[in-house]
Amino acid sequence: MAREVDLVARVAEGDRRAFEELYHLYHRRMARFLTRLTHRYDLAEEVINDTFWVVWRKARDFRGDSQPSTWILGIAYRKARNALRAASRGAAQNLDEEFLPLTSEEPHRAEELRDWLTSALAQLPVEQRLAVELCYELGYSCQEIATIMDCPVNTVKTRLFHARAKLKKLLPQLAGAVEREGARPADGPAAREGRES
């Protein structure tokens, strides 16, 4: 965090190299978060650029009350929310999964699980989806998420509670839909649950 605070301070002084370093430090994390949030790579990139334009112009306003990442993602959140509202009139593009790497030793199962989770997350209201992404994907605390989303901590907790409840219902439904579409039951999570019983 000290490195990030130093970078923001240098950006506030007009240091372009510090700005580039800060941009590269955050780009991948923000791209993954924003692509999963917006389901549009082009919109995610636009939000990243808009966010860093604000960071460049407003770095002097960073008071250090929170981590630089919380401040930057707060800007990105507000920009994404506005971009989603503006884009809701246009046609959505397919999710570009360039920033959703597989981490499992079994790539086909990891891809299937990722697809189910992505589908389930897409069915959540935007505010709940954001809270889930910030908490579980990026590891922010409820207090940090409240700062980013500019809402009370209890609102964040409520959004996470409702999101978990919806995901608990949606994931088995998605697994069942895949099996009905012809996937082999032996390959899906529902089948594995049956074997474990």
Per-residue three-class SS string for 129-168? HHHHHHHHHCCCCHHHHHHHHCCCHHHHHHHHHHHHHHHH
Does 1.25.40.10 match the CATH number of domain 1-101? no
Lowest mean pLDDT among 25-39, 63-77, 101-115: 101-115
Average pLDDT, stretch 22-51? 89
Domain map (residue ranges) of the chain:
1-101, 103-191
Q: Which one is predicted more confidently, 24 or 1? A: 24
CA dist 32 and 39 (Å) reads: 10
Using pLDDT thresholds of 50, 70 and 90, give the confidence band for residue 16: very high
Lowest mean pLDDT among 45-49, 59-63, 106-110, 143-147: 106-110
CA 176 to mean position of chain CA atoms: 26
Class of the CATH domain delimited by 103-191: mainly alpha
8 A C-beta contact, residue 27 and residue 48? yes
Helix (H) or strand (E) run with residue 34 in it: helix 16-38
